[in-house]
A and B are shown apart, each in its own frame.
Chain A
Amino acid sequence: MAETVDQDIEKKESEPLLSKKNRKLLTDPLDDDNPITVQVLGICSALAITVQVQQAVIMALSVVFVMIGGNLLVSLMRNVIPNRIRIIVQLVIVAALVILVDQILKAFVYDISKALSVFVGLIISNCIIMGRLEAFALGNKPWPSFLDAIGNAAGYGWILIAVAVVRELFGSGSFSLPGLGQVTLIPEAFYNFGYMNNNMMILPPMALVTVGVIIWIQRARNTKLVEEN
């Protein structure tokens, strides 16, 4: 008898895997609480690696992976991590994960690891990852942390890819995907008429401007993001 009662209580307490609250964890970072455009985190890597779409895609995927791994591990260890060294612990977890992934890629998918080589350091220092570990995973159970990780990494990733699409189209006149290589989009005839690729687009300042334009569009559509004063 006692056992069934216990089970009933447990059932009431556990919420469905994709409850409204949990869905919000996934969707909020895509728009209302986007790490790049609203929280303005992770700008450094958004400037550095949005010259070509394929690199943005690879970076986005690796951040998804590291984010999920980091959030899950920190969430599982949240009750044992000593408060005073929690940042160091998070840093070690992220760094270890990144190196582990890098080593495995190097051994089995060498070509991808070569494409990634420059970004490994950037992933470790990505403030979004540290930010989510500190602000969310440290105080929440593994499942919500897992969703939060996917949400934030995806929110970061789609902005990265959007910026890269704009910069690659106007900067190099092409579009690239991992495995596909680069495809030229601007027809030769345009160049014959005097059209030129905008070299400025390839340089970091234009990434900042592009992110700024995305923020502008987002706030025009989503007015609750606009500050009162």
Chain B
Amino acid sequence: MGVNKDSNGFTFGFAIAMVVVVGVVLAITAMGLKPFQQENVQQEKMQNILAAINVNVSRNEAKTQFYDFIVERVALNYQGEVIEEKDGDIITLDDGQEAFESDPFNVDVKKEYRGLPAEDRSYPMYICEKDDERFYVIPLVGKGLWGPIWGFVSLYGDGETIYGANFDHKSETPGLGAEISLPSFEEKFEERSIFDKSGEFASVRVVKAGKAGDDPHKVDGITGGTITSVGVDEMLKRTLQIYIPYFENNKKS
């Protein structure tokens, strides 16, 4: 070949061509696959919400089951006042619209947690009916050791006792912090009360493994996963207290 492989021109040309080719290929794949990926993410969210009310379904069935159990989707503001209510099919988010206005389901709590001060976030909640009983599912998001952790916790109709919980994480250590997503950890939250005896909000504390005993306000953390356990503790306390006024108003009316 007549081209000098070591010339500056060839080197630059090659680099530019490579970047363009790789960029185009990756962009096309990402665009083309996006609808499929979003569908998966939505199904998983529904699956996790259902798991919080102890309905365990596969991801494919999640969508039909979701509409069977979840009767209403609401969004609250920082004061715990309802700012949006929706039922029926989920409405897709349009450009330029606030997520909670289109549908509380579209609120990405992870994104708002990262980017907005607490007062400006919207706080979605899913009202479910199962066996003629009412449950409230609240999304949580917080920090683990290596990355975000999140989950859903469901409360009984009185807004005081936890009915079920579901946690997940991005990159916690397998065998240690990652254990928060196991049923053995999630089940510990069932029937725990978030109010203490005097009626004050106390959340459910995640304490050192083996220290919780029968205390209705404590659960055992994970041995060797202290920072992740503290993260779960923090996100429960911070998030649940936002919703307390809503339940108090509910009781009054």
Asked whether B37 lies within 8 Å of A84 as measured between CB atoms, the reply is: no
- Contact stretch, chosen from A37-45, A75-83, A185-193: A75-83
Cβ-based interface call for B95 (8 A): no
- Do A107 and B36 have beta carbons less than 8 Å apart? yes
Task: Map CB proximity to A onto B30-50 as digits: 1 under 8 Å, 0 otherwise.
Answer: 100100110010001000000
Whether B174 and A55, one on each chain, are in contact in the complex, defined by CB atoms closer than 8 angstroms, is yes
A49 to B37, CA, bound (A): 26
Specify which chain A residues have a CB less than 8 angstroms from the CB of B25 in the assembled complex: 96, 100
Taking A80-B5, A83-B6 as contacts, is the C-beta distance between A52 and B174 under 8 angstroms?
A: yes
Query: A-B pairs with CB below 8 Å: how many?
Result: 71
B15 within 8 A of partner (CB): yes
Q: Is the interface of B mostly helix, strand, loop or mixed?
A: helix
Q: In chain A, what residue has the closest Cβ to B36? A: A107
Tell yes or no: A117 within 8 A of B by CB: yes
Q: CB of B250 within 8 A of chain A?
A: no
B68, chain A: closest CB distance, angstroms: 22
| Chain B, 1-30, CB within 8 A of any chain A CB | 5-6, 10-11, 14-15, 18-19, 22, 25-26, 29-30
The answer, yes or no, to whether B171 is at the interface (CB within 8 Å) is yes
- State how many angstroms separate the Cβ of B86 from the closest Cβ of chain A: 26
Interface residues on chain B, size class: 20 to 34
Selected interface stretch from A24-32, A85-93, A139-147 = A85-93
Give bound CA distance, A111 to B43, whole Å.
12
Q: Which residues of A contact B14 (CB under 8 A)?
A: 80-82, 85, 89
A171 touches B (CB below 8 Å): yes
With A80-B14, A82-B14, A110-B44 as contacts: A103 and B173 at CB distance below 8 Å = no
A118 / chain B contacts, CB cutoff of 8 Å: 170-171
**Contact of A123 with B by CB under 8 A:** no
Contact assessment for B33 and A82 in the assembled complex, using a CB-CB cutoff below 8 Å: no
Q: Are A107 and B22 in contact (CB under 8 A)?
A: no
With contact pairs A85-B14, A110-B44 given, residues A51 and B37 touching in the complex (Cβ less than 8 Å): no
Interface residues in chain A, defined as those with a beta carbon under 8 Å from any beta carbon in chain B: 49, 51-52, 55, 80-85, 88-89, 92, 96, 99-100, 103-104, 106-108, 110-111, 117-118, 168, 171-172, 199, 202-203
Residues in B lying within 8 Å of A, measured CB to CB? 5-6, 10-11, 14-15, 18-19, 22, 25-26, 29-30, 33, 36-37, 40, 44, 59, 170-171, 173-176, 223-224
